[in-house]
Structure 1
Amino acid sequence: MYPTFTSANFQILCDELAVRDADLGHIIHTHGYPPMWTRNNSFETLVHIILEQQVSLASALAALNQLRARIGIVTPERVLTLSDEELKACYFSRQKTAYVRGLAEALMTKQLDLIALETLPNDEVRRILCGLKGIGDWTADVYLMFVLRRTDLFPLGDLAAVNALKTIKGLPKVTPRETLLTITQDWQPSRTIAAMILWHYYLSVRKKA
């Protein structure tokens, strides 16, 4: 088994980071603990993550809800019955239509087994997922963090997390990736939890604004 967070250890991991990093501690003191964001290990979840690529969370959810309204339970079989025009009516771009079709076909042909991913190391999960069209490091990171609940990943491709990191550390907008990586390495083996604290900060500040 690989280290994961659960409802039993999540706040403990937050507290440990708060002691090690005063800036993360300040976020928790000011805004409270972050939600323990998790998602089911399902085709629908991966479709949702693909829809979230490079758009707002609200836009992605709107597209997913349109898909749910059209086919009910989101399964590979049902998605593959839809035409390009029907998916377009669900707010799917041409690219994301291709990505979701490819994912559905991979599951139908047993090229991808989501349950089997639960027992694999992070690098192997990433290799398998990134072998599918339209799935890159960001999508794999979100899957590993939210679905498999692995404790030690930081999505350097996520603008919200990175911008929050720059803000709390007083870094310039143009900061080398290597500098950011060095900071996040100090949060091992709980970089996932640190990212969730940063997302919580980002969302809390935006809500107040």
Structure 2
Amino acid sequence: MDLTIDPALAHLMQEPVMARIIAGTPHPKPAVDWAGDLYLALLESIVSQQISIKAADAIFRRFRDLFPDQYPHADALLVKTTEELRSAGLSFQKISYLQSVATFTLENRLDHAFVNTLADEDIVQYLLPIKGVGRWTVEMLLMFVLDRPDVFPVDDLVIRQRMMRAFPDETAGLTGRALIKKLQHLAEPWRPYRTLASRYLWRWTT
């Protein structure tokens, strides 16, 4: 691979550990979901919580089928009865969360013109008031919907495990906040391309 045409890879491979991971890992494919539709992605992320991908896909498809154009516009979603939404396979809790997303959308902006003016952390804080949406969820949206290049989801269990395997001496015996702080420090050389580094960590198996 000619790294001169890929500044992100060229930068990441300057760090020895990441260079080794990249050398032995298939390059992640582009994975921007929902064509940047943050509202739809928020709904899908809530439906997907704590269930398998196959089950989530089926439920989200049935949920979208409840609407004439298969798009759950916020005002249309909020007038759906609990019974109608339950028919798609949604739990009472997830229905509440979906309604929270819809209410937020009607009262706040999620369009690109606005969201693109916000820094990553500002977007996290902007969306956290939505019930059912946590930091990890927003970071996944930053990476895979908004295509932000420098996101490091340190709360992701797989990222933590792979980082500890990649840096065994540096992380030995660390737990809790001390571990998080160390992992964030170890990832600093990967700026401003920590999203790509994280995607390599997810794919890394050896």
**Which protein shows a greater Rg?**
2
* 1:15 has 2:13 as partner: no
CA–CA separation in structure 2 for the residues paired with 1:93 and 1:142: 23
1:24 aligned residue (14, 18, 24)? 18
Would the alpha carbon gap of residues 184 and 85 (structure 1) be closer, same or farther in structure 2, given more than 3 Å must change? farther
Q: How many residues are treated as equivalent by the alignment?
A: 193
Deviation, 1:173, is: 8.8
- The equivalent of 1:112 in structure 2 is 109
Deviation, 1:10, is: 9.6
Q: Do 1:28 and 1:34's aligned partners in 2 also have CA atoms closer than 8 Å? A: no
Q: Do 2:21 and 2:204's aligned partners in 1 also have CA atoms closer than 8 Å? A: yes
Q: Do 2:11 and 2:190's aligned partners in 1 also have CA atoms closer than 8 Å? A: no
Tell me the TM-score normalised to structure 2 length.
0.79
CA–CA separation in structure 2 for the residues paired with 1:83 and 1:11: 50
What is the correspondence of 1:28-107 to structure 2 with a 5 Å cutoff? Answer: 28-39=22-33, 40-42=35-37, 43-71=39-67, 72-107=70-105
Tell me the TM-score normalised to structure 1 length.
0.78
Q: CA RMSD in A?
A: 2.6
Which stretches in structure 2 are left out of the alignment for 5+ residues?
Answer: none
1:139 aligned residue (137, 140, 159)? 137
Deviation, 1:11, is: 4.5
- The equivalent of 1:193 in structure 2 is 196
Would the alpha carbon gap of residues 22 and 89 (structure 1) be closer, same or farther in structure 2, given more than 3 Å must change? farther
Q: Do 1:154 and 1:192's aligned partners in 2 also have CA atoms closer than 8 Å? A: yes
Secondary structure at the residue paired with 2:192?
coil
Please list the CA deviations of residues 47-83 of structure 1 after superposition, one character each: whole Å capped at 9, or x if unmatched: 1122333444444323222212333223223322332
Which stretches in structure 1 are left out of the alignment for 5+ residues?
Answer: 1-8
Would the alpha carbon gap of residues 56 and 183 (structure 1) be closer, same or farther in structure 2, given more than 3 Å must change? farther
CA–CA separation in structure 2 for the residues paired with 1:86 and 1:128: 30
> What letter corresponds to residue 130 of structure 1 in structure 2?
L
